[in-house]
Amino acid sequence: RVKDLSHIDFDQAARSGQVLVIENASDGTAMAGWSCERLAQEFPQARMRREYDWVKNPEDRNTHKLGNTAWIAMTEEGEDQKERLKQDKQAPPFAPFYWGVREHRNGDLGSRKVVERIRELIKDSVPAFMDRKNAESLFENAEFWLGAKGTGARAHMDSHCISTLSVVLSGERRWRIGPVPRMPRGAGRSKEEEVVFDDGIAYKLGWKPMFEFTVREGEAVLFPPGWIHETYNVADGCTVALTTQFDTPMPVRYYRSFYQRIRRVGDLHPCWRSMVSWASLGELDKHLPKDAAAARSRAAELYRSRNATLSPKQLDFYDLDADGVVSEAEFVSVFTDWIATERAVKKERVVRMPRPDMR
């Protein structure tokens, strides 16, 4: 938990994939303190949906108007809820409402006027510690999670390749969160685009979150791609959270640290090509060196020819001590480890459901 976070400290935390609870995150932003009632008043014609409503709403259409305020106090179970609570007694008992601003191009979110107004509000809600260049990405990835006490999002892994910031505008949320699970040797690897950790599946697999904490009004959670997370609204009344992703900085150091896990989980398949590109310096189609000696030789050759022209993301991938400079020793060490990891990943059997270590 941190307070008065500087630009530099936020940048370093995001690059490395740290999980932070940031106090006073909404100070000075356009939507600080907005309640469910305020959202309904300001956007009465906007449309959202209740989550986990697969029987009544199998196509996830936005069927609820924010202005019809019965939703503010609504507590309804989602599909499969009893099963999820048997698997994990701490799972949220009721389904939240979801206003997916990120889906604005689908046409059923609200009028053009609604979309443009929420765009401006979100772009005026860039926290003080964040680079304002993120304004557009904050809008393009924005989701509002809304609901009464007891509602919340089941444990799941998103397929985003950029970091997430979730700000509680009003109310209070309990979070449980943990990293991409370990993948033991022989546990297999996902098919491309295979979703492993869909809503609630982590409970069935015996998920044990690394962190549990409460996020109060005005506070935010920062976390990197691939972390399994669950939310539970615990305040009396209705809670509003704005959850979104941002482009700058890219968590490249985190990808280096968790490379083996991420490369074996299909949920994060959209990120694999970028990871390989950073490590290979863009030479995606080259054959991997056959052994460690060949990898070290190839690394030394690449360092001599390419070190002066590393892109910022490639530099982050290879800069082990984060001093802004990649030494030959760093480059050879990281490259050799990357080759060994890629070879190990490719030896794993492709399966629909790998066997992760959820401890």
How far apart (Å, rounded) are the C-alpha atoms in residues 220 and 205? Answer: 28
Strand, coil or helix: 62 = coil
- Beta-bridge partners for 263: none
pLDDT per residue over 64-98, tens digit each?
999 999 999 999 999 999 999 999 999 999 999 99
pLDDT score at 324: 94
Could you tell me what percent of the chain has a pLDDT over 90? 93
pLDDT score at 190: 92
Q: Which of 48, 101, 103 is nearest to 70 (CA)?
A: 48
pLDDT score at 53: 96
What average pLDDT does range 173-192 have in this prediction?
95
Instruction: Tell me the helices (H) and strands (E) count for the chain, helix number first.
Output: 12, 13
The answer to whether the beta carbons of residues 219 and 21 sit under 8 Å apart is: yes
Neighbours of 265 (CB within 10 A): 25
The answer to whether the beta carbons of residues 253 and 15 sit under 8 Å apart is: yes
Kindly indicate the confidence band of residue 353, based on its pLDDT and cuts at 50, 70 and 90: confident
How far apart (Å, rounded) are the C-alpha atoms in residues 341 and 348? Answer: 11
pLDDT per residue over 273-308, tens digit each?
999 999 999 987 678 898 999 999 999 999 999 998
pLDDT per residue over 4-41, tens digit each?
999 999 999 999 999 999 999 999 999 999 999 999 99
How far apart (Å, rounded) are the C-alpha atoms in residues 130 and 248? Answer: 9
Q: Which of 244, 311, 303, 307 is nearest to 277 (CA)?
A: 311
**Alpha-helix runs per DSSP H in 281-352:** 292-306, 312-318, 328-347
Rg of the chain over Cα atoms, rounded to whole angstroms, equals 22
What average pLDDT does range 265-273 have in this prediction?
95
- Beta-bridge partners for 145: 98, 241
Strand-pair category, 97-99 with 47-50: antiparallel
Above 90 in pLDDT, residue 352?
no
Could you tell me what percent of the chain has a pLDDT over 70? 100
Q: Which of 343, 325, 346 is nearest to 335 (CA)?
A: 343
Kindly indicate the confidence band of residue 141, based on its pLDDT and cuts at 50, 70 and 90: very high
Tell me, yes or no, if the pTM score tops 0.85.
yes
Q: At residue 21, what are phi and psi to the nearest 5 degrees?
A: -100, 120
User: To which H or E segment does residue 164 belong?
Assistant: strand 164-170
Kindly indicate the confidence band of residue 359, based on its pLDDT and cuts at 50, 70 and 90: confident
Strand-pair category, 238-245 with 143-148: antiparallel
Neighbours of 20 (CB within 10 A): 18
Give the distance, in angstroms, between the CA of residue 251 and the centroid of all CA atoms in the same chain.
Answer: 11
Whole-Å CA distances, 67 to 43, 44, 218? 7, 4, 24
- Tell me the residue length of the chain: 359
Strand-pair category, 64-65 with 172-178: unpaired
Above 80 in pLDDT, residue 175?
yes
Chain-wide mean pLDDT for the chain?
96
Neighbours of 308 (CB within 10 A): 7
What average pLDDT does range 183-187 have in this prediction?
94
Q: At residue 204, what are phi and psi to the nearest 5 degrees?
A: -60, -35
pLDDT score at 126: 98
Above 90 in pLDDT, residue 199?
no
How far apart (Å, rounded) are the C-alpha atoms in residues 84 and 80? Answer: 6
Give the distance, in angstroms, between the CA of residue 177 and the centroid of all CA atoms in the same chain.
Answer: 11
301 half-sphere exposure, CB direction, 13 A CA radius: 8
